Amino acid sequence: MDNMENKRIQRPLKKSIQYGCIVFVLVLCVFLGVSIYFNYKNLFIKQSQDHIRQIINYVIGYIDNDDLKQCMETNVESPKYKEMMAFLDDVKEDLDPQYLYVIKPLSEDDGNHVLVLLSAENYYDRYEYTEGNLYLGDVLEDEYTKEEVDQMRVIMGEKDIVFMESITYWGHSYCGYYTLHDSTGAPYAILGVDIDLTQMSKDILYKTLGNLVIIIITGAAFIFGFITWASKNITDPIEMLERSAIRYIKRSREVSSPEMLIFEKPDLNIKNEVESLSNTINQMTEDMKDYMFRIISAEKETIHMKEVANTDSLTGVKNKLAYDDEVKQLDIRLKGNLINELGVIMMDVNYLKKINDTYGHKYGDLLIQNFCSIVCDIFVHSPVYRIGGDEFVIILQKNDLANSDKLLKEFEKALNERASGEFNPWEAPSVAVGVAYYDRNKDTDVEDVFRRADDAMYERKKEMKAERLD
């Protein structure tokens, strides 16, 4: 029973459900968190692309490409250049890109050098805090990597806007590059618009965390609701049913009658499979009880029938069928050296035919019954078998075997007292007796012992007949 209790609590269903719900919600949070993060990022990138495209389309309609190219080549600001610079400053103020500029990647021999044509600034940086401003003809030497400059050279051959992430001296940005062409169609510079990804990443993170908080709260509410529901409808009823089953098993090992074997069905009112299982188990235990009653009844009937089949109906002692079965069992025990002592007494009742012929069979039966009464009173520890009409065998066992001589004398004395007393012939039986004991050197089985006892009985019968003739 202790083992059953230990097994019962090794992996409780309630805890498994709790752990499963928690793991499910955590996995869901991770999955949704990653999904939300990338969805927001993609959304922000899409919005950034649209914003960059809007700025570029707005700006390229104002640029005089031939004038700007000439300013690049002469390194002299023209009136149109100054107007364009003011225009770009206004665009930066109004549309708020991180950076708005026109640059040109220099030849491969110059490595990662980039020529500045124009860089938009807000009002404060343009007219008050001018340190760090970029002007026409400035060359950036370390702000871009060689890979980025090489990529710019490739972009110079593109006709549409190219988007890319960039980590430079000025920060982490999402950039849109558009190649500017002069009136002949020759590319000469790149119009660049940068959107700050640092703030964007923070915004994405905050929005993701906000959504995760909502998911976690919702998940916690789901866990609480589901566990409460599962406890009421599944785990608690199963535990109650299990405890009832364990009590039933324990009781089944203690009670002596199926009548006392009762399954205490838990009081469930959940209308689901667990309640149906409880009802099924209860019905099963009742059917088992009925089955056990039928088995017990059948066993009793079998025992009774066997007793009837092995009992002599006239005397109540065992019959020839019981004797044959006992001989088989004794032979097995002798061959297995389970016993080494055995005694057989063969008895034959005299004058049975004479009494039947003289007084009738009723008195012959009384003779046999009186004989059996005397034998059973003396040989109380040994079975008595009626193997013929007037023939009986006693298999000496236990104390009767050890005291066989004494018991035989008591038997002879009891017969003599009846013979010398005032008894009717059927009340004073005359008996011829033969005795033999198992001898390992002479006997191979019980039949050998019986044969010697039978021979001794017939010898005694001859002697008794000779004594009557004298």
pLDDT given for residue 168 in this prediction: 67
Mean pLDDT value across residues 356-371: 94
| Minimum mean pLDDT range among 49-63, 96-110, 184-198, 421-435 | 96-110
Q: When comparing pLDDT for 353 and 263, which is higher?
A: 353
| Minimum mean pLDDT range among 64-78, 289-303, 382-396 | 289-303
Tell whether the model's pLDDT for residue 3 goes beyond 60. no
pLDDT given for residue 1 in this prediction: 47
Mean pLDDT value across residues 307-324: 91
pLDDT given for residue 391 in this prediction: 95
Percent of the chain with pLDDT over 90: 42
pTM here? 0.51
Three state DSSP letters for the chain: CHHHHHHHCCCCHHHHHHHHHHHHHHHHHHHHHHHHHHHHHHHHHHHHHHHHHHHHHHHHCCCCHHHHHHHHHHCCCCHHHHHHHHHHHHHHHHHCCCEEEEEEECCHHHCCCEEEEEECCCHHHHHCCCCCCCCCCCEECCCCCHHHHHHHHHHCCCCCCEEEEEEECCEEEEEEEEEEECCCCCEEEEEEEEEEHHHHHHHHHHHHHHHHHHHHHHHHHHHHHHHHHHHHHHHHHHHHHHHHHHHHHHHHCCCCCHHHCCCCCCCCCCCCHHHHHHHHHHHHHHHHHHHHHHHHHHHHHHHHHHHHHCECCCCCCEEHHHHHHHHHHHHHHHHCCCCCCCEEEEEEECCHHHHHHHHCHHHHHHHHHHHHHHHHHHCCCCCEEECCCCEEEEEECHHHHHCHHHHHHHHHHHHHHHHHCCCCHHHCCCEEEEEEECCCCCCCCHHHHHHHHHHHHHHHHHHHHHHHHC
pLDDT given for residue 44 in this prediction: 86
Mean pLDDT value across residues 200-214: 85
Tell whether the model's pLDDT for residue 129 goes beyond 80. no
Mean pLDDT value across residues 198-208: 83
Mean pLDDT value across residues 385-391: 93
